[in-house]
Amino acid sequence: MRKLIYLDNAATTAPAQEVITAMTSSLRESYFNPSSLYASGFAVRKQIEASRLMIRQMLRAEDLVFTSGGTEASNLAILGSLQNVRKFGRVLYSAVEHSAVAKTCESLSGQHEVLKVPVTEEGLIDLEALRPLLTPETLMICVMQVNNEVGAIQPLQEVISLRNSLCPDALLHVDGVQGFLHLPLAMTDGVDSYALSGHKIHGPKGIGALALGKRMRVKPMIFGGSQENSLRSGTENTPGIIGLTAAIEAYPKENTIRERKLAFYHLVKELIPDAMVNGPQPESPSACEHIINLSFPPVRAQTLMHALEGEGVMVSQGSACSSKKKTPSATLSAMNIAKARIESALRFSFSRYTSFEDVQFAAHALVKAYQTLRPYTHR
């Protein structure tokens, strides 16, 4: 049986064995409702609070709310905090934000001035374009930690410095779904809220969290039994929380993901010189360790993707959440990339389980598919 080579880890990751073991144990033994007033319920509550404390301390957060994932976490941060603001103000988000942030910000356009901040050709927020938008009327700035399509690491410290000098009262929300555990981050450096997701770090789906800084005040979006300190009602997903914690604890402090990504890129570039990088150059400090986006004009990405699938190699055209849309990638369009190049763009994303043998096989399969399809493609 042909081995599956999975290079779509920005979409989701395989759960670590430690996660499966921890969740299985939780499902079997810790099924009690954490709100129950008997000893078994208290024991489950204690597990949840220990998990909360561990993640809070890691991020230096003031509080942490468990959610169903990164999307809910960002919705809670943006909508939950701006419900507290009665005056008309300005909400900013970068042009390459995940739809969980972009659409949430856009939903506020009737209540506030919502502006999209341009990005550079590498997919980094344009700091010079951001500067004049930071006024005393600015209520919130949304900038992701790592872009999910091209792997650009956003200059958060520069954004924080500008915010501190031009509109110190504005809140900064960071979508950390693709950055959590890949990059260090301390909320005390100036981040007011931070969203993370379990299934991007070899944890389970259906669990995420919103970390809150000292200045952040949110109102609930889901009402009911007042769980999560009245910020997110509904019985807590104990197995998910335990699985998220296990994923964090099992994540290695050092890995070779970047080396594997670079090995893949150099092999592909050597054999397909016309391959084009979308986003920061792979060796750049602005490029994350696990995502690279490449175009192979004039071969269409979907054709190339299915050819790779036939060889057992799984990749994607971009964000999994937007993969069924017929419109060009909003991220690549915001980077002013030509339509033909967008149509030939594939995202390759790696994990700690990606071996050098996987990288070599995938690169050669890609080259074979490209060389086979190239003569039959006309523009």
Q: Which residues are catalytic?
A: 321
What is the rounded CA–CA span in Å between residue 52 and residue 67?
12
Contact partners, residue 297, CB within 8 Å, separation at least 6: 274, 276, 340, 341, 344, 379
Asked whether 36 and 190 are in contact (CB, 8 A), the reply is: no
Distances (CA, A) of 164 to 33, 157, 280, 324: 43, 10, 27, 39
Half-sphere exposure of 179 (CA within 13 A, CB side): 23
Closest to 82 (Cα-Cα) out of 106, 47, 53:
106
Pick from 81, 87, 143: nearest CA to 118? 143
d(C-alpha 40, C-alpha 164), whole Å: 47
289 Cβ neighbours under 8 A, 6+ residues apart: 182, 255, 257, 258, 261, 350
> Any idea how long the chain is?
379
Rounded-to-integer distance, Cα 214 and Cα 341, Å:
44
Considering only CA atoms, which of 1, 2, 9 is closest in space to residue 311?
2
Q: Which of 68, 81, 353 is nearest to 234 (CA)?
A: 68
Q: Distance between CA 311 and CA 2 in Å, rounded?
A: 8
d(CA 281, CA 214): 36
- Are 52 and 46 within 8 A, CB to CB? no
